Chains A and B, each alone.
Chain A
């Protein structure tokens, strides 16, 4: 059940209205839990067993971590981490390792072939395992008490708005909100629905429209001109933003309607002045997860190495973040390139500060934003390409300045509309975030306008959200 489907609209209406008719929190928790099970099972019903297994493991591990001290405490944390990473390793990474073992053995003149698993990746696996891990780690660190109520803990992992593509939440933020009875508030309804509509708009009107250009250029990289290929990758950056942040908007909006505030996942990443700034604005919940649970522990344990600790910690963190996105070399390369960029920024921070101090602030900002923007645009090629060879072909196509076809899958009018829509999206997010809910009249006007625009300009082809595959 994708957010941009009729099934979700009906499901959301039923769950939300029912939620507010229930007068005690216990009933609401069970309603949301059962609703979330239905939501998850509508993808592949059997995979609820995997999710259920990891929920039971982490619930028990959380209680035992809290109960024990010393080695036993650590051992239960390790059990929980192995269970979660084990599920990821089997379902997401096993075939990648088998493939590479085979290729490696061929390099040494032998052919070692292990059986491949023919199973579909459970939807949103990387998201909910990371969320589950953050719970046991926080209990281990004594930042969070173990949750005694199984249904509440299960709902923490399964809460349907953020179950399949985040935001990857922390227990300190969500668990208290799930336990507290939260009354109906019209302001929350307005804010939530306005945000959901904005998310739908970004997904069906912008992202799925830009996808037509991106799909075409990536499938015609051999016979498209450099300009067409550049347009394709430029549009891809906006497509993936509108797709993923659109999903996040719907998730945050759906939770907000029920008076639950989830963490923000994006903060206008197109206006990042450098790569450090970019990673504080893009997929915030994932990168704060890596910062808290990978980068910080690494830098603490490697502190004797001096500056090498920074280099190693950054490389390992970004290697893992690339690998998190997909079991493929192009994702690893994508992560490592960003890691190297951050290392470069770390070592040149003083020189860059001096350089920018010599020029007017606005000029410095424009340069910083432009360079960061282009860097992200080009590295996105690795993110989108099907494999390393396709990524390199795409790069070659752009920089060969060849005279292939300029057609990008749209007529001029639609290209103009797409550019206008992207501009509108940037303007609205930067300057008008709360404008349309300040009065009821504005809200009603906005709701009707968004429904009409989404219907008439939306591209409805049941396209899944890109981040569902992770």
Chain B
């Protein structure tokens, strides 16, 4: 009886702790930081994060060889050795996160601005200031319906304040935000619970077994991942759903492209006025857009061919699409491109940077 009582109290306490831990964003992040140590040491309590691709890892299909393609980005060669007279501001996401400054032609300073961050910048007007806004296709409809980006990447101060050019860390507004009722309810609580309770290397076998079982019997990947119709690629499920803004197949409303183009124009005008010499927009197509285009909603061509679009486009959709082997630009088990895709984008960006550099001289 006493054992049962103790067990009941222990279970209640453990359950409440798990709920509290998974609700608190800061606590969850802290635990994630601690556990990230295990990533490099292959520890039993480490989290599962495969080296073969984010989708392979999410679907636990690490055992299926055709989905296993390692990250092969290569930046061994410098773009060129010419005079460096450009400050490049790159607003982007994980596609361009790892590109070093040396890979860009003529770039003296590279300011990479991850899309979630909020930062203030002061431009150095003695140099060329180029802004490239990079977005993976799945975020375009959510992110560029409005000009909300202007709140994240902010240009401050006098345009000629050359001495203090660069990044100014932005004071987080949330630090002083009072505790509210919404803080008791975290929309990601289930993902956090799964992470805290089950995402350990020693618990990975049942998951991999389930994944392989479902793949072998039903040709199906689990959770947020789907297998392409030809069976050779993994796609992020939200990019193939019929009713999701991230999807390549979700129907575009008539006025939606107009709205996106209008907000991109607002963004363009704002940053040109703020002192940038040029602002470019670049959309990286979803793998499903290129590799399984049957019901594609044509989001990228509709935006880039819109006559009202002021912002110059770094077009990756057309060369990917026209390539004889479009599959060669993506990793089979990842949401991202491979080195070939990345290098094609870099070539296009470097041509633009060289052009500006020459004009400048």
Please report A residues at the B interface, Cβ cutoff 8 Å: 5-7, 10-11, 13-14, 17-18, 20-21, 38, 41-42, 45, 215, 219, 410-411, 413-414, 417, 455-456, 459-462
B190 within 8 A of A: yes
B206 within 8 A of A: yes
Q: Are A10 and B15 interface neighbours, CB within 8 A?
A: yes
B 197-226 to A, binary, CB cutoff 8 A, 1 in contact else 0: 100000000100110010001111011100
Q: Are B218 and A411 interface neighbours, CB within 8 A?
A: yes
Q: Are B190 and A7 interface neighbours, CB within 8 A?
A: yes
- A6-B242 CB under 8 A given contacts A17-B8, A41-B185, A456-B213: no
Closest to A461 in B: B223
Q: Are A14 and B19 interface neighbours, CB within 8 A?
A: yes
- A45-B218 CB under 8 A given contacts A6-B190, A6-B194, A10-B18: no
Q: Are B15 and A460 interface neighbours, CB within 8 A?
A: no
Residues of A within 8 A of B12 (CB): 13-14, 17-18, 21
Number of residues of chain B lying within 8 A (CB) of chain A: 32
Q: Which B51-110 residues have a C-beta within 8 angstroms of A? A: none
A413 in complex: contacting residue of B11, B18, B209, B217, CB < 8 Å: B217
Q: Are B218 and A410 interface neighbours, CB within 8 A?
A: yes
In the bound assembly, the distance between CA atoms of A215 and B190 in angstroms comes to 24
Q: Are B206 and A414 interface neighbours, CB within 8 A?
A: no
Q: Are A7 and B193 interface neighbours, CB within 8 A?
A: yes
Nearest-neighbour CB distance to chain B for A156, whole angstroms, equals 24
Closest 8 CB pairs of A and B: A14-B15, A414-B218, A6-B193, A219-B242, A17-B8, A10-B15, A5-B190, A17-B12
Q: Are A456 and B210 interface neighbours, CB within 8 A?
A: yes
Please report B residues at the A interface, Cβ cutoff 8 Å: 5, 8-9, 11-12, 15-16, 18-19, 22, 181-182, 184-185, 189-190, 193-194, 197, 206, 209-210, 213, 217-220, 222-224, 237, 242
Residues of A within 8 A of B206 (CB): 455
Residues of B within 8 A of A417 (CB): 218
Q: Are B9 and A462 interface neighbours, CB within 8 A?
A: no
Residues of B within 8 A of A10 (CB): 15, 18-19, 193
- A42-B11 CB under 8 A given contacts A6-B193, A6-B194: no
In the bound assembly, the distance between CA atoms of A428 and B65 in angstroms comes to 40
In the bound assembly, the distance between CA atoms of A352 and B12 in angstroms comes to 59
B197 in complex: contacting residue of A6, A11, A18, CB < 8 Å: A6
In the bound assembly, the distance between CA atoms of A145 and B19 in angstroms comes to 39
Nearest-neighbour CB distance to chain B for A373, whole angstroms, equals 27
In the bound assembly, the distance between CA atoms of A456 and B216 in angstroms comes to 13
Residues of B within 8 A of A45 (CB): 181-182, 184-185
Nearest-neighbour CB distance to chain B for A327, whole angstroms, equals 19
Q: Are B217 and A414 interface neighbours, CB within 8 A?
A: yes
Nearest-neighbour CB distance to chain B for A142, whole angstroms, equals 40
In the bound assembly, the distance between CA atoms of A396 and B219 in angstroms comes to 31
Residues of B within 8 A of A414 (CB): 217-218, 220
A7 in complex: contacting residue of B5, B19, B222, B224, CB < 8 Å: B19
In the bound assembly, the distance between CA atoms of A38 and B223 in angstroms comes to 27
Nearest-neighbour CB distance to chain B for A436, whole angstroms, equals 23
- A21-B8 CB under 8 A given contacts A6-B197, A7-B19, A455-B210: yes
